Amino acid sequence: MASSIVSEGIVLIAVVIAAAMLSQVFLTTMTGIEQSSITMSERLGDKMKTSVKVISAVNSSSTSVKVWVKNTGTNIIPSSVIEKSDVLFGRFGEYSYIDYSELGVGWDFALLNSDDTNWQNGETMEITITTSAALATGDYYVCFNTFNGVSDEHYFSIGG
């Protein structure tokens, strides 16, 4: 009888330890999934709140183009994040990735109707794309892609 109680106790302790270990592993995994899921939802929400619209684009000189892009979403984008956007530009069907550059060849931006350094809803940004070669007459394509993959594109032409 006594040996039965002892063996019952040993089994009980073993079961408790095993269940505790399993619980810890399970809960840790679930917490990881929870965090990933929340992060994913937040990113998706951010993306849905981000919206941009290219208002117009024209060539301002033989080697530069001005593009006006409006923030039509509710996401507030700081200037430091705008620099992480992607700009694709070039002749129709021959566009390429343009590097961000505050000086010389590349793209740069200025917030036009903003009181601070954040790009907020309704505010417009003037992008200047400077090319190394003179822009020839023809059809052109420009695409502005935000840091989180929201984009708008615009087709325009440059006359002779």
Binding interface with another protein (CB under 8 A):
8, 11-12, 14-16, 18-20, 22-23, 26-27, 30-31, 33-34, 37-38, 40-42, 44-49, 51, 53, 55-56, 58, 60, 66, 68, 70, 72-74, 112-113, 121-124, 126
Nearer to another protein, 72 or 79 (CB): 72
In the complex, what is the shortest distance from the CB of residue 52 to another protein, in angstroms, rounded to a whole number? 9
Tally Cβ neighbours within 10 Å of residue 81.
15
Q: In what order do the strands lie in the sheet with 52-61?
A: 52-61, 64-71, 124-130, 106-111
Nearer to another protein, 59 or 79 (CB): 59
Which residues, other chains included, contact 115 with Cβ-Cβ below 8 Å and sequence gap of 6+? none
Nearer to another protein, 14 or 136 (CB): 14
What span, in angstroms and rounded, lies between the C-alpha atoms of 103 and 130?
9
Nearer to another protein, 83 or 152 (CB): 152
In the complex, what is the shortest distance from the CB of residue 45 to another protein, in angstroms, rounded to a whole number? 4
In the complex, what is the shortest distance from the CB of residue 132 to another protein, in angstroms, rounded to a whole number? 22
In the complex, what is the shortest distance from the CB of residue 84 to another protein, in angstroms, rounded to a whole number? 21
In the complex, what is the shortest distance from the CB of residue 98 to another protein, in angstroms, rounded to a whole number? 20
Sign of the CA dihedral 75, 42, 86, 53?
negative
